[in-house]
A = this chain, B = another copy of it.
Amino acid sequence: MNKPLILVVEDDKAIRNLITTTLETQGYLYHTAATGEASILEAVSSRPDVIILDLGLPDMDGVDIIRKVRSWSNTPIVVVSARSEDKDKIDALDAGADDYLTKPFSVDELLARLRVSLRRVRYDSGKLRRDSPVFVNGGLKIDYAAGSVRLDGKEIHLTPIEYKLLCLLAKNVGKVLTHNFILREIWGSYSSDLSALRVFMATLRKKIEKDPSRPRYIQTHIGVGYRMLRVGDDSAGN
């Protein structure tokens, strides 16, 4: 996962710096805003993972900001406020805030509560893209998340290099990949032999082609390289 992006909305420069420097040491990215107006713009444009929001902004009521953000986004909002009255907390939480800290607050606690919110973001976003990315071509199926390959329903075992090779071809179905390109992608630019690639192609074909002499998936382009063909679904795949 990439570094989370935190939007810090706080008009007091000292506190803002305290928060941002702390975030920096923890490896978070951050944007800042000092007014309600700016915070809304930032929330829209930079789509932060979490918003830390000071309620005491000069130009806008904090609860209104929460409501405004909530009208289009579920981004977690952690409120930081000088007001410790029950009513303030309840209003903010019911408006859509996810947490409420009163100043003066402990930086460590803020970080912990931030982690809680981030946990939820990560968890939710994992659910949204629940179906693992899969490549299907005829009877060939690559499950990238599982790292497995199926041919006509049966799982086949590939060595790491064979797997990388197949993925590379699959990512460029229909395109001819030159020898040099493949060698660079798989072995990383140095030290490699065409013959090595040929050997791996042979073993790979032996595994995924029923009749290696008349390949269905991987085609040789003499003097240039290889290419994976897009093949019509002829056999009971999946």
Contacts and interface: CB of A to CB of B under 8 A. Distances in A.
Interface residues of A, number: 38
B94 A145 contact: no
Nearest to A127: B127
Interface string A153-186: 0000001100000000000001110000000000
B147 A221 contact: yes
A184 to B, nearest CB: 12
A106 B176 CA distance: 40
A207 to B, nearest CB: 15
A146 B160 contact: no
Contact of A93 (B115, B124, B159): B115
A130 B98 CA distance: 23
B116 A93 contact: yes
Contact of A109 (B89, B113, B174, B221): B89
17 contacts: A86-B106, A86-B108, A89-B109, A90-B111, A93-B113, A94-B112, A97-B116, A127-B127, A146-B174, A147-B221, A147-B227, A148-B174, A148-B176, A159-B222, A159-B223, A160-B223, A160-B224
